[in-house]
Structures are given as C-alpha cells and as structure tokens.
Amino acid sequence: MYPCGRCRAVAVGPDGRCAACGAVGLPPAPAPAYPYPYLAGPVAAPAGGIDLRRGVRIALTVLLVLNILLLLLMVAAAGNERAALDAMLSDGLTDATARKADSADNAASVLSLLHILAFLASGVLWVVWFRRARLNAEVFAPGTHRFGSGWAVGSWFTPVVNLWFPKQMANDIYRASSPAGPQAAPKGLLNSWWVLWITANVLSWMGSTMEAVASARVKTATKGGHYSLDDWRSDAESLKSALAVQGLSTLLLAVAALLALLVVRQLSRMQEQRAALGPQFAPPFAPQSAPPMAMGAPAWPGMPPAPAPYGAPAHPPVPPVPLGPPQNPFGNGPAGC
C-alpha cells in the first residue's frame, strides 16, 4: 500500500485514502542519484545540492560535550563559593575563611574562562551547521521558508529578534526535512531545547545582575569606611542568593546543551532519510499578483502548468476518460447523426 500523496503518511485506508487529509495514496517517484539539482522554481538551490558531510557535526558534538562537562564543573564551583560564604558568616572573617573564599573564586574564574572559550568555538560551528541544514532544507522544500538563508547566521547575533527568529527558522527546517511530510515533523525535542535555552539565559542575566549589585555595594561601603557587621552579613546573603540563581542557570544551560546535541543528531538523521527519498515533491510556483489557480493550470497563455505545492505528489495529471461518443455541436445527437 502506497503512502498518502499529500502528507506522506503510511497508514492509509483500504480505499487508498488518508484518514487525516483524505488524499489518495500514489506510488512514490523514483529517486535519482545524489546530489540531485533542484529543477525549476522561484528560489535557487545551493550550488552543491545537498550537503550531508559529517565533519562539522562531529566537531560540534565534541564541543557540546565539552561544554556540558565545564558547565557541571561550574555548578560545583558555585556551590563551593556558597560554602565559603557560609563559613565566613558562621566563623567570621578569618585567614582560613578568606583563603577558602579566594580559592573558590579563583577556581570559578578559571572554569568560567574555559567555558567562554569552548562556548565561542561551539557557537561558530553551530551557525555553520545550522546554515548548512537551512540550505539542505531549501533543496527539500524550495520557497516554503519564512526567512532567507542569511538569517541562519544573522538571527543568532541580532538583539531582540534572536529570541524567536532562530526558533522559527528551525521549525521551517524541521518541516522541510521530515521524511514523513511537514505535518509529521517531530518538534518536541526542539521545543524543549529552545525553552530551556531561553530560560537559562534569562536566569543567568538575573544572577549576574544580582551579583554585580551586591559586589558594588560591598566595594562602596568598604571605601567609605562605615561598613557595619550587619551590612556585611546582608551583602553576603545577597551574594549567596546571586550564586544560587547562577548555579541554577548554569545547570539549565548544561541540560540545554545536552538537548542541543540531541537536536543536532535528530535533524541530521532526518535530512539523511529525507535525502534518500529523492525529489518527490515539486516546488510551489504561483505569481503573487495572480489569483489562486488550480494545480496544473497555466498562469497565462504560453506558460507551462504550475507545479504542485510542497507535500503534493509531482505526478502528471490523469487525462479525463470519455463517457460516450462525441456529441454533434449542431444537434442533440452524437456526431455524425
């Protein structure tokens, strides 16, 4: 039994129609050799066709694993800083508690620097991989994306819009790369990663702001020479709260990095499976100034018929079957009567 001709679902009824959209199942078109060029359409395909090389993906996976390890170590370092502050609050400001606090701060600073370097390296590879996935998705479904391929890089670095533009692009890439059709694109993992990524960054900003305010208050009071013990305890508690928020954000970042790794694996596997199916779908093409037209009808005299939209089978139309002898245009009976 052939899959649905519109949504590519395998489960079609005994009459050959899909239970979800009612389309008739059609035999799949033969897959040509790869890389196959995109035929004709309003959007040009990448010059090299589909790029399924694994070098960038493997390097990105290694860096994401490194980021996860560093983030977990940073969570432990934040715990050590909180423990040093507790010791200072309970035992007072002594040489031993001061050395413990300095050691915890130095360890946290070193880990933070290493994480910044690893994060920058993985960020470069991430935008390279994401743009490649976007170009592959353009071959799978030309003209169906809301943003151009340039936004695959620029959306991550543009303030404000980087809160939702990359996610919308990822949704389009998932729909175009789904082997079972755009309606069956799995996005649970993608949505979970994006929610954790945004939440962790918001909490990190809050923790950094709280720590900066408490540290500035301590420095100001120390220079003024009227720093009481009660004020110092209050500021120490504020620093502990800031470290708690930062530790939570760092832990969420580690989980988000793990989900990002799974997203890379899932989307790469989807594109490999989608590429193995071949160009089964024809690209959409209709002038924006012209009214909607039926599939296969020409836009104007002399133009070739418009191809089927993404998700519809690119099969030639079936000619109508005559129901009887041709009619005589000058009478009521058949021709020749």
Q: And the tokens for 126?
A: 């991430």
Could you please report the per-residue DSSP string of 274-294?
A: HHHH-S-BPPP---TTSPP--
Quote the CA–CA distance of 150 and 162 in Å, as a whole number: 14
Residue 37, preceding bond cis, omega within 30 degrees? no
Q: Are the C-beta atoms of residues 78 and 250 closer than 8 Å to each other?
A: yes
Quote the CA–CA distance of 122 and 261 in Å, as a whole number: 11
For residue 221, what pLDDT is reported? 65
For residue 106, what pLDDT is reported? 92
Burial of 154 (0-12, 13-18, 19+ CB in 10 A): middle
For residue 6, what pLDDT is reported? 59
Q: Are the C-beta atoms of residues 5 and 313 closer than 8 Å to each other?
A: yes
Name residues whose C-beta falls within 8 Å of residue 139's C-beta, 6 or more positions apart in sequence.
Answer: 38, 45, 46, 49, 50
What is the separation of C-alpha 10 from the centre of its chain, rounded to a whole number of angstroms? 26
Quote the CA–CA distance of 193 and 212 in Å, as a whole number: 28
Question: Which letter does DSSP use for residue 24 in this model?
Answer: B
- Scored b (16 or more CB within 10 A) or e, 129-140 reads bbbbbbbbbbbb
Q: Which of 76, 82, 138, 135 is nearest to 110 (CA)?
A: 76
Quote the CA–CA distance of 332 and 337 in Å, as a whole number: 9
Could you please report the per-residue DSSP string of 142-196?
A: TT--SS-TTHHHHTTTSTTGGGTHHHHHHHHHHHHH-TT-GGG---HHHHHHHHH
- The owner of tokens 């590429």 is 275
Quote the CA–CA distance of 190 and 257 in Å, as a whole number: 12
Q: Which residues of the chain have pLDDT under 50?
A: 1, 28-48, 281-315, 326-337
Q: And the tokens for 40?
A: 């004709």
Q: Which of 310, 269, 238 is nearest to 89 (CA)?
A: 238
